[in-house]
Structure 1
Amino acid sequence: MNLQEKDSGNLQVEDYLEAVLDNFHDGIYITDREANTVYLNHSYELISGLRKSEMIGKNMKDLVEAGVVSMSGTLSVLQSGESVTSEQIFRTGKRAVITSTPIFDGDDKTNLVMVVTLVREITEIYSIRKELQRKELQNRQYMQELERMRKELDGDVELVAVAEPSRKLLEFARKMAQVDLPVLFYGENGCGKFRLAKYIHAHSDRTEAAFLRLNFSAVPKNDLETYLFGTPGTAEHEPQIGLLESAEGGTLYIEELAAVPEDIQGNLLAVLRDGCCVMKEGYLQKLNIRMIAGSKYSVQQLEQMASVNNLLLQQFSLFSMEVLPLRERREDIIPLLDFFLNQYNYKTGQNKQFDRESYQCLNDYPWPGNIQELKNLVQRAAIISTGDVIRAQDLFMHDRLEKVEEKQESYQDQVDLKMEVARFEAGYLDHAFSRFGNIREAAASLGMDSSTFVRKRQKYEQLGLMKSQKKK
């Protein structure tokens, strides 16, 4: 007996059919043969985040083109005439597995009258799967970073800070570790910007999470979006997690702020200001990342670059600090030599030491490659030397000094350019001091600390580019 024919208190099933469908746990979506939406139940609204009032009467082609849904099972059924199962992403960022089935008039398979789609939410399952994948990738990257740091520092992220500028840098890094704000370190390559960023991360509340480096010059341009944002998952392929999501909860160090591509700067700015970013799949992703940037250019130089987003630069320059080259903080040279040599001795079980002449030679060297050059030289000298004493002849400094002299000679034709840059900077220093009348405020107006202002002014006074002024 047909259910509708059964006498059950004059119950007419068709009168309650919509209420029955609304109580289905799975979503139900029905279109006519032209792919126009004719019905969707309450569960579909909950699963998709879309409202019935904005969907009824809409054609699936228009909904796909508008990005309301990523794809349409209905359109696939109308094209093939067969049931289709696939994964669908809604404009709201929610995900579902859908099964679209053709409904024919009678037994005649040629007269298709509607398409019924069953929708089962997988947003939570997808999120869990994605989170597990992100954690796995993050742990793998984190372990690689730890191994690299172990090889470099044997787990030690403390800084050698004997010279006054270095002590100020260390104090700045300590303060920055206590707050969760963007930081910019600028100075020559190899002078320790990355090491300072690592120190901040290691002494912050994020120390248990990942510390990742982002070097745009090392990423092929055509792979950049995938590298940063990953790729969305499909029914056939697992999603790939990008670097931004891998850094979730941790710290991201940008090697060179000036190298950030212009079309990516807006994404980084959104993360810094709003804590979210539009991912490659087109939905907003919440991101909890602390960013620290390095640059070989000063804040003033970065401001003059048309390719650098001023709003992004403002985020980083609020807390910025110059990292002086090693030749301008010579009190650090001998402690750094001992630091890296002690690391070598610890790794190899040896007891190497520099003699007095080698110390003097290394202390007088200008170190154009800064700390990285010093570390490489220590390792090379320790390996080449015989016995426990590293002598001057083990350093091969003659070749290095010749290269420095050759480089200096090659720059002789550029002296005029350097002087023009110096005159430009001296003019700003002179104007700021004349305007504010004291070093502290003048330095602050130019985005530098007082010691840098004094050092630069003394330099330009000696070059005759500024008049000697008494400090007020």
Structure 2
Amino acid sequence: MNPIEVLELEIEAIINASSENIIVTDGSGVILRAVKNSEEMYGIPSADLVGKSVKELEKQKIFNPSVTLEVLEKKEPVRFMQQTGTGKVIMTQGIPLFDQDRKIIRVISFSHDMTEIEELKMQYEVLQHKMKRYEAEMQQLRNQQTLKDGVVIKSKHMQNVWDMVKRVANSDAAVVLEGESGTGKNVAARALHHGGSRRTGPLIEVNCGAIPPTLFESEMFGYEPGAFTGASTKGKPGLIELADKGTLFLDEVGELPMAIQVKLLKVLQEKKVTRMGGSKSRTVDFRVVAATNRDLESMVKQRMFRDDLYYRLNVVPITLPPLRERKEDILHFIAYFLEKFNVKYGTRKSFHVSAVDELIAYSWPGNVRELENLIERMVVTVDETLIKGKDLPAMQKTQKAKQRTDETVAMSTLQESLETVEKSWLIRAFRDCRSTYEMAEYLGMSQPTVVRRLKKYRINSKTI
């Protein structure tokens, strides 16, 4: 083997061993050599590239644009990003080789696949854009005071609710606030009070589910001195009395004992209250606002809630939507609670876009209260200033697991229902038909299938 052949083999080995995609052309742009892996990058085998003009290949969008043509035109090294016919983005560099007369005799191009890096760059840019949008919206939220007393009124659904709250605030009409736990019914009750003519009077909040039944009457209606063992010698006004000239807010009104419902109805009708152990009635002037996460109408039908009290309270029903039905409000709640707890704990925490995306995607069964508690937890427990998606509890995993469980239960229920129907038809056919062949024709299935089904459900002359 002569030295030229050895040199040829060395050059070929160097080109093919390189991690770069190397193409060598002559002075007119005709390909002389191409690395063996060119098909992966350009969609054409190396053997088919050799002998082709880069000008023609550029027209065919195999190279777009051709670095070799740029080198031949400028007579100097050229480097730029290039897109291939296979959709790959590559960084390509062309270097001219000159003869003694400064005439280009070869162009060597080196190309490196940048597709994955470019995709990562694009993802990063999208992430950055999303983060800037979130930050801009949060800042706009702070500037425009979209939140009032912890209530977001950004979504159309919530705007309609809040318009109703403002509309009835100035009236004395009884209001029932309905909605799941954590939707902000107590906040709406306060807005009804502070937005009305009774704002200078007291707002008395009564959690009907927190007072023991044995103490309910004395707490609600008050008592006279010596009304019962252990009673104060001075007596005590009840919560209804304390609401005079103001608002009585009955939270969790569905928990009211039936005996108290009767007495409360009388107070609402007459606007007079009589303390336990007394005979003198006192006139009280108050507005009643009730809240519940239960279906009062169903409770009325089940005789668990008095219908006359229900109709007395339910003059203006207002339903607060769950957080999962007002996704556009979540970002604003995040901004509100984040600032609240940063101030409370003297921190400067913020949420990474990955965390914000997860918070928006979550269904929030505990509604606003759950979101508030989670944000406080993150501010207190996460060491880093930037709270990322990985720092959040496995909410979505739990949610997906529950969805899978629900789907399994649904499928199981469906299967059981289908089997019940199938068994019913088989029993009917067994009674009406004289043979399994006749049953098969009757049921529209094959005779072997009928036999298998009869065996499966143990249907025979002894069981029917």
In which range does the TM-score fall when normalised by the shorter chain? 0.5 to 0.7
* One-letter amino acid of the structure 2 residue matched with residue 175 of structure 1: R
Cα distance in 2, alignment partners of residues 412 and 355 from structure 1: 32
2:174 is aligned to 182
Contact 2:176–2:314 under 8 Å retained in 1: yes
Q: CA deviation at 1:403?
A: 3.9
1:403-437 Cα shifts (integer Å, max 9, x gaps): 44555566679869x99xxxxxxxxxxxxxxxxxx
Alpha-carbon offset, residue 341 of structure 1: 0.8
Which residue among 264, 269, 273 is the counterpart of 1:268? 264
Q: 1:254 aligns with which of 232, 250, 264?
A: 250
Counterpart of 1:390 in structure 2 is 387
- Asked if 1:200 corresponds to 2:197, the answer is no
1:401 aligns with 2:432: no
**Alignment pair present for 1:380 and 2:377:** yes
| Secondary structure of the structure 1 residue equivalent to 2:152 | coil
Cα pair distance change 1:226/1:388, threshold 3 Å: same
Does 1:311 find its partner at 2:311? no
Local SS of the residue matching 2:200? coil
Structure 1, unaligned runs of 5 or more: 1-154, 420-472
Quote the residue 2:240 is aligned against: 244
SS in 2 for 1:277: strand
Structure 1: distance between partners of 2:185 and 2:257: 21
| Alignment CA distance shift 1:390-1:260 (3 Å) | same
Question: SS where residue 244 of structure 2 aligns?
Answer: coil
Which amino acid in 2 is paired with 1:233? P
1:350 lines up with 2:347 in the alignment: yes
- Cα distance, 1:158 vs. partner? 5.7
1:223 to 215, 231, 248: 215
| Superposition deviation, residue 323 in structure 1 | 1.3
- Mapped to 1, the partners of 2:155 and 2:285 lie a distance apart of 35
- Name the Cα RMSD after superposition: 2.7
Q: Distance in 2 between matches of 1:164 and 1:226?
A: 43
Alpha-carbon contact 2:273-2:281 (below 8 Å) kept: yes
For residues 218 and 296 of structure 2, what CA distance do their matches in structure 1 show? 30
Matched, 1:232 2:229: no
Instruction: Report the residue type matching 1:198 in the other structure.
Output: R
Conserved? CA contact 1:255–1:294, under 8 Å:
yes
User: Are residues 263 and 348 of structure 1, via their aligned partners in 2, closer, same or farther at CA, if it must alter by over 3 Å?
Assistant: same
How far, CA to CA, are the matches of 1:408 and 1:304 in structure 2?
A: 32
CA distance in 1, matches of 2:407, 2:279: 53
2:203 alignment counterpart: 211
Write the deviation string for residues 94-113 of structure 1: whole angstroms up to 9, x where unpaired.
Answer: xxxxxxxxxxxxxxxxxxxx
How many residue pairs are counted as aligned between the two chains? 262
How do residues 122-141 of structure 1 correspond to structure 2 at under 5 angstroms? none
Q: 1:413 to 1:312 in 2, by over 3 A?
A: farther
Tell me the CA shift for residue 371 of structure 1.
0.5
Aligned counterparts, 1:298-337, within 5 A: 298=295, 300-337=297-334
Deviation at 1:370, TM superposition (A): 0.3
> For 1:334, what is the secondary structure of its paired residue?
helix
Q: TM-score, normalised by structure 1?
A: 0.51
The match for 1:170 among 157, 162, 175 is 162
Contact 1:158 1:199 in 2 (8 A): no
Counterpart-to-counterpart distance in 1, 2:379 and 2:331: 15
How far apart are residue 402 of structure 1 and its match?
4.1
SS in 2 for 1:357: helix
Q: Which amino acid in structure 2 is aligned with residue 289 of structure 1?
A: F
Asked whether the equivalents of residues 224 and 275 of structure 2 are also in contact (C-alpha less than 8 Å), the reply is: no
1:368 Cα deviation from its structure 2 partner: 0.5
State whether residues 299 and 317 of structure 1, in contact with CA within 8 Å, keep that contact through their aligned partners in structure 2: no
Change beyond 3 A, Cα 1:386–1:231: same
Residue 166 of structure 1, CA deviation:
0.4
Tell me which residue corresponds to 1:340: 337
Where 2:223 maps in the other structure, the secondary structure is coil
Q: Are the aligned partners of 1:384 and 1:394 in contact in 2 as well (CA < 8 Å)? A: no
- Bigger radius of gyration: 2
Deviations 1:101-146 (A, max 9, x none): xxxxxxxxxxxxxxxxxxxxxxxxxxxxxxxxxxxxxxxxxxxxxx
335-344 or 250-259: bigger deviation: 250-259
